[in-house]
Amino acid sequence: MTGPVYVNGRYLSQPVTGVQRFASEIVRAIDGLVQNGEWPLTTLLTPPLKAEGALAGDASDSFLPTRSVGRRKGQLWEQIDLPQAARGGTLINLGNTAPLLGGSSQIVVIHDAGVFDTPYSYSWKFRLWYKSLQHALARMGTRIVTVSEFSRHRIAASLGIDPARIAVIYEGADHIKRIPADETVLPRHGLTPGGYALVVGSRAAHKNLGALDRVVEALGQRGMVVAMTGGANRAVFQDTADQAALCHLGRASDAELRALYENAACLLFPSRYEGFGLPPVEAMICGCPVIATRGGAVEEICGEDALYFTMDDPASLVGAVERMLDEPGLRDDLSRRGLQRAQKLSWMASARLLCDVAGRRAA
């Protein structure tokens, strides 16, 4: 493969979720590979960021050459302006979508098959666009990458392609340790070390936050709370027995999130569906035990180093929490094993695998 290498920088114009986190960390790691001579000089192509509103991050956060191209924004920018600017090169798209005019000379990272498997979490317009676009990209021979074996097989089944066409690169966990913990987040919210279970997630329906109802009550009886970061959604808990036991933190910075992980009794991750599950590995690398829904990508990533509950049996979540709190030595063992597992997940290793997929890695 010849020609320059470009990265789709649309993620810089989007609110930060796991997908934008993935993009920013991969770009940061690519920069390190460029400096090491392992990756060709790569240009980040962005929409006109000042016209886009809220940014996922400042373009200065990227250490690679950055070029604003075109005048459009959103999907129109990605489908019209971006492929024109990337013509003649390899375009790497990190956030589920890619220009139809990019053809087989590009890579797209599709994080999961959520629009096919959990359609209730998305608007009908969003579902229609994503399904149509991803089917078209597959037909055109665009190289597809995803973030777990679970996602590889679900995407392949949804798009009707051979799983062998999809490469897998795990996400990293090391970013959360890059910034010192901001311990002031605990007293600001009335939290004490070990006195809360942490929940990190969005309001999407597949996050299954309703499964926490019984845990809130059980922990309240122990004088503990469930602390939620990522946005409050009180409607989810309208039937919860003890509303006072909930602690809504809103969005947390990376420094605050690190402190919350390091001081939590555990992370509760009740999501019904994930392509990878970034909060569990963030928790693990901070020494925070993980209790998650059995099955899917999270169990693949966390293996035997987490506790699990059955999605359709909320009582089993209470049982897992009580076991972790009451069984001597279990919490410390989960903390130690989870840390060892998460330390193997680095963004630099992920970027190297992506470089291999691109066929551009230096010898």
pLDDT tens by residue, 253-284: 999 999 999 999 999 998 888 999 999 999 99
Residues 342, 284 contacting (CB under 8 angstroms): yes
Does residue 231 register a pLDDT over 80?
Answer: no
Lowest mean pLDDT: which of 123-137, 225-239, 253-267? 225-239
Domains of the chain: 5-172+346-358 (3.40.50.2000), 176-342 (3.40.50.2000)
* Structure-token pair, residue 31: 């920069």
Q: How far is CA 200 from CA 134, 229, 294, in A?
A: 28, 5, 17
> What was the pLDDT predicted at 201?
75
Please spell the DSSP secondary structure of 120-179, one letter per residue.
GGS-HHHHHHHHHHHHHHHHTT-EEEESSHHHHHHHHHHHT--GGGEEE-PPP-GGGGSS
Q: 3-class DSSP state for residue 259?
A: helix
The better pLDDT of the pair 118, 154 is held by 154
Express each pLDDT in 147-158 by its tens digit.
999 999 999 999
Express each pLDDT in 90-111 by its tens digit.
999 999 999 999 877 899 999 9
Neighbour-count burial for 202-215, b at 16+ CB within 10 Å, e otherwise: eebbbbbbbbbbbb
- Identify the H or E element spanning 323: helix 314-326
Query: Residues 6 or more apart from 221 whose CB is under 8 A from it?
Result: none
> What was the pLDDT predicted at 111?
97
Query: Residues 6 or more apart from 95 whose CB is under 8 A from it?
Result: 8, 10, 11, 14, 19, 20, 22, 23, 109, 111
Query: How far is C-alpha 163 from the geometric centre of its chain's CA atoms?
Result: 22
> What was the pLDDT predicted at 304?
95
Which of the four pLDDT bands, split at 50, 70 and 90, describes residue 209? low
Which of the four pLDDT bands, split at 50, 70 and 90, describes residue 235? very low
